[in-house]
Amino acid sequence: MTEQPRSDIYGSRARIGYTSPPLTTEVFPYEFYQIVPKGVTLVVTSLAIVVRSKDEVDQSYDISMRAAREMAAAGCDIVVLGGVPINLSRGAANAGQIIRDLEAELKVKVSTSTSAQAAAAKALGCKKVVVCQPYEKTETDRIASYAKHFGCEVLGATGWGSAFNQIGRIPHHAAIDMGRELMRKHPDADSIFFPSPHWPTAGALDVLEREFGVNCMAAHQAIVWDALRRCGIKDRIEGFGRLFREF
């Protein structure tokens, strides 16, 4: 079989590989194709996360390493390793080393959910943030603490209360409602963060940026933005926050 010209495939501009933590992945690909320009495709491997136990995280780390190698073999232009807890499970310093080691081995660009969000927060100039997370409220402090890895001070945080395996059922208005609640409590915040790329956040970004004059950074938005830019796609995309419009 002869290799087809790049212009004759769906991913004519970029093929983005993503290791998706939820065993049942739903929202990430839906919002991905709402955002990306024509000619960009998603190559996804679902990992093993159902309840976010340590065993699941460890298993998912191993699967993601295998998936990265298979995505490189399949010709992806970049491989994104999903899941901040998975990225950091071997230590924050090791997360950066994993990227360097895999890029050297696979000869393909590699990113992580953690590195993408750090890059997005830096580009936007986020300093004082509030954090809206989708999971049980008992997880709020832990998840909000990830903002510190992005160089930010957390002024306040809240959670929607969803079980991990129910995040596809979170309503569209959840992110907007939580963002408004936190901005009214913490008007000094310059940014709203939405961790986890597996619940509906795309429709909240422009709404809240216009309403409060702040930056909105969602994990999904940051991952897709970072992957596009690292693949040389500089399109300014409207409708999904300042990050895509200006950077």
16 and 85 in one domain?
yes
Considering the domain architecture, whether residues 102 and 122 belong to the same structural domain is answered as no
d(CA 222, CA 32): 11
Is residue 126 located within the same domain as residue 215? yes
Higher pLDDT, 20 or 38: 38
The pLDDT-based confidence of 40 (bands split at 50, 70, 90) is very high
Are residue 191 and residue 93 in the same domain, yes or no?
A: no
Residues 104 and 11 in one domain: yes
Which domain-ending residue is among 55, 90, 112? 112
pLDDT value at position 57? 73
- What pLDDT is attached to residue 23? 83
Q: Within 74-91, where are the H helices?
A: 84-87
The DSSP letter of residue 204 is G
Are 96 and 121 found together in one domain?
Answer: no
Place of tokens 């991952």: 223
More confident site: 25 or 46: 25
In angstroms, rounded to a whole number, what is the distance separating the alpha carbons of residues 154 and 190?
11
Residue 170 lies in a domain: yes
Confidence of residue 91 (pLDDT cuts 50, 70, 90): low
The residues near 114 (Cβ < 8 Å, ≥ 6 apart) are 84, 87, 88, 95, 146, 149
Phi, psi of 19, rounded to the nearest 5 degrees: -90, 110
Residue 196 lies in a domain: yes
**What confidence category does residue 87 fall into, taking pLDDT thresholds of 50, 70 and 90?**
low
Mean pLDDT, residues 48-64:
75
Q: pTM surpassing 0.75?
A: yes
Domain endpoint, select from 66, 85, 112: 112
104, 124: one domain: no
Predicted confidence (pLDDT) at residue 167 exceeds the cutoff of 60:
yes
Q: What pLDDT, on the 0 to 100 scale, is given for residue 56?
A: 76
In this structure, the answer to whether residues 54 and 143 fall within a common structural domain is no
Residue 86: pLDDT band by 50, 70, 90 thresholds?
A: low
pLDDT of residue 93: 63
For a pLDDT cut of 70, what percent of the chain falls above it? 91
In a domain, residue 243? The reply is no
pLDDT of residue 1: 45
> Could you list the residue range(s) of the whole structural domain that residue 181 is in?
117-221
Listed residue (107, 116, 104) closest to 19, CA to CA? 116
Question: How many domains does the chain divide into?
Answer: 2
CA-CA distance, 196 to 131, in Å (whole number)?
11
Give domain status of residue 140, yes or no.
yes
The residue written with tokens 């790049």 in the block is 6
| Statement to judge: residues 122 and 99 lie in one domain | no
- Rounded mean pLDDT of 183-191? 98
Better-predicted residue by pLDDT, 246 or 150: 246
CATH number reported for the structural domain that contains residue 106 in this entry: 3.40.50.12500
81 and 134 share a domain? no
The structure tokens listed for 183 are 């901005």
136 with 89, same domain? no
182 belongs to a structural domain: yes
* Position 244 in a domain: no
Whether 87 and 134 map to the same domain: the answer is no
Q: What is the CATH number of the domain that holds 127?
A: 3.40.50.1860
Least confident range from 77-86, 112-121, 211-220: namely 77-86
236 in a domain, yes or no? no
DSSP, res 3: P
pLDDT beyond 90 at 224: yes
Residue 179 within a domain: yes
Instruction: Flag whether pLDDT at 94 surpasses 90.
Output: no
